[in-house]
Chains A and B, each alone.
Chain A
Amino acid sequence: DAGVTQSPTHLIKTRGQQVTLRCSPKSGHDTVSWYQQALGQGPQFIFQYYEEEERQRGNFPDRFSGHQFPNYSSELNVNALLLGDSALYLCASSLWGLNTEAFFGQGTRLTVV
């Protein structure tokens, strides 16, 4: 079992550009959540997808959008990048409706210059 995989691991973008990050959940998991982690801070919840719909959303602007595919994989899109979007982006997978743990990927380190 490969666990949660994220791609790419690192990338550098220019302010104003758009970026797409990808996540494949742990085998058998149906729910994907995305987090942003700035340096020295805890992860901040962006949104969560289940059955290809956004189910919950944190306090992030509409520039942050996502998608979940029928195979449960997910994408995070960020438009009009700002310098402040530089962070580690984490994907977590879990099972909807159960009190079980989330499994996290290793993250994508995004640097906006």
Chain B
Amino acid sequence: DAKTTQPPSMDCAEGRAANLPCNHSTISGNEYVYWYRQIHSQGPQYIIHGLKNNETNEMASLIITEDRKSSTLILPHATLRDTAVYYCIAESGGYQKVTFGIGTKLQVIP
């Protein structure tokens, strides 16, 4: 599985968009980009995933660059409940050997 690089921490004002970057420059053609988040002491929660097209669901949007070497998770209107550690993962689909890094600790500020 490709290694991903994320900033260790970010702050975002409540109500503003949170843009979380992820670098996955060694991603291979069959690897998807997955985003999960983990609120303190809970199990990780799936947010969104994609291969090469931008994706949107009720929680977030995922923007993947054309060369697939990086992506951005966008939380359109961050709330205090979005404070969590966000993990970006690049993995071969279907087998779920998910390799987590340290992730980005997002702090939403009132």
Cross-chain contact B95 with A42 (CB below 8 angstroms): no
Given A42-B87, A104-B43: A98 in contact with B103 (beta carbons within 8 A): no
B44 is contacted by which of A43, A44, A58, A99 (Cβ under 8 Å)? Answer: A43
Residues of chain A within 8 A of B102, CB atoms compared: 41-42
B87 CB, min distance to chain A CBs, angstroms:
6
Interface-located stretch among A13-21, A69-77, A88-96: A88-96
Number of residues of chain B lying within 8 A (CB) of chain A: 23
Say if the beta carbon of A105 comes within 8 Å of chain B.
yes
List, in ascending order, chain B residues with CB within 8 A of A66's CB. Answer: none
Chain B, 81-110, CB within 8 A of any chain A CB: 85, 87, 93-103
Which of B85, B96, B99, B101 is the one whose CB lies under 8 Å from A92?
A: B96
Which among B34, B46, B96, B100 is the interface contact of A48 at CB below 8 angstroms? B96
Number of A-B contacts (CB under 8 A): 64
Decide if A92 touches B98 in the complex (CB within 8 Å). yes
Q: How many of chain A's residues touch chain B, expressed as a range?
A: 20 to 34
Query: Which A residues are in CB contact (< 8 Å) with B42?
Result: 106-107
Q: How far is the CA of A94 from the CA of B34 in the complex (A)?
A: 14
10 CB contacts below 8 A, A to B, read A43-B100, A55-B95, A56-B97, A92-B44, A92-B96, A99-B49, A102-B98, A103-B46, A104-B43, A104-B45
